[in-house]
Each structure stands twice: as structure tokens, then as C-alpha cells.
Amino acid sequence: MWPASRRSWAAVLLCVTLFGVITWQVAVEGPLFSADVRLGRALFGAGPATLTGLLADLGSTAVAPPVLAAAVGHALLRERRRWVPALAALAAMAAVPALVVPLKLWIARPAPLEPGTGWYPSGHAATAMVAYCGAALLVTPYLRRKWAMPAAGVLTLATGIGLVLRGYHWPLDVLGSLCLFGALLPFLNSICRRRSSSRTRTG
């Protein structure tokens, strides 16, 4: 399914463009890369360590994917015909390692505070965005008030903030991930909305 509105296509184009620019700057260590290093060093260690650690963990595989799995189960229990959006959400989650790991190996960005490379883009930020936003899209048709997507946005943003303040990622690691997988959300949203509309008309 393709996004129907011009606004959705504009969002996809913006995300893809920003991701391309950020990736290019990180790969060649351009001016944006240098500014990112300065900003990261200024932010690392800010805030209570316990809180920033908890926020960063919102993007871990032990927390975010189970939330998506619960939303998939809820949608399928409510209506078995919701298997297409459920499958699309799971496919989006599977795309996280499929896209992130090769990029990490290619860019080989050094870690902020420890030895090693492969920190761009952030897998935790991508996992949080896909899991929480995918879960929100699946459960929204069954909610009286549309609070799920704003909550997903807050959780995703909180994860990114925790990752940076804790020193697990540079700011552009997080922003690059959000741009990359933000480009997928309009497609997932289109699938969920069309299936939901079909259900409503049939009912």
C-alpha cells in the first residue's frame, strides 16, 4: 500500500533527504559531523544517570519489541482480518537489523565513550520508533481517544534523549535512525488505515 496524501509523500521525501545528508556528513566527517561531536561531548553525562539509563533502555530488544508483539496479539484477537497490518508491523521491525547492521559496518563510526566502531545509525532508536509507532497504529482503531501515537512519539523521543545523555550514541546516530525509519511509517500507516476503513465499511 502506498501513502495516499501529498503530506505523507512529503514526509517520506523529507526523511529520506535528511537521512542522506546526515549519512554523507558522518561518512566524510564533514562540518555537520564536527558539530555533532561537539554537541555530543557537551551533552554526555547530563541528567541523572539512573533516569537516562532507563530512557535509553526503552529502545532495547527486551522492552520495545514485546510492546509491538502485544499490540499485534491484541489486534489479531480483536479481528483476525487485521493480519495484514500486523504482518506489516512485524516486517518493519525485521527491517531494523536488516538495514541498521550493514550501515553500521559501512560507516564504522567510533563509539562516543568506549572502544569500537559501528555506532551509526542507532539500532535502539530505530527499534523504539518502529515498535512504539507500529503498536500505536495497530491499537488506535480500537481506542476512543487517539492518544496512542502521541504516546509513541514521546517514548521514541525519550529513548533518543536517553541514548545521547547516557553517552551511548552521538546525536546524529539517533537522528539518522529516526529519519531512516520515519520514512517507513507513512507506508505502515497507509496499510493500517486502509484495513481499518475496510473493516468499518464492512461492519
Please list the alpha-helical segments (H only) found in 108-184: 123-139, 148-165, 171-182
Percent share of the chain, pLDDT over 70: 93
Lowest mean pLDDT among 8-17, 46-55, 73-82, 107-116: 73-82
Smallest Cα–Cα separation from 159: which of 113, 120, 122, 104? 122
Q: Is 167 helix (H, G, I), strand (E, B) or coil?
A: coil
d(CA 96, CA 59): 12
Res 114 pLDDT > 90? no
- Residue pLDDT, tens place only, 127-170: 999 999 999 999 998 888 889 999 999 999 999 999 999 999 99
pTM: 0.90
Residue 3 has pLDDT above 80, yes or no: no
Flag whether pLDDT at 185 surpasses 50: yes
Q: What residue ranges do the domains of the chain occupy?
A: 6-198
CATH (residue range 6-198) = 1.20.144
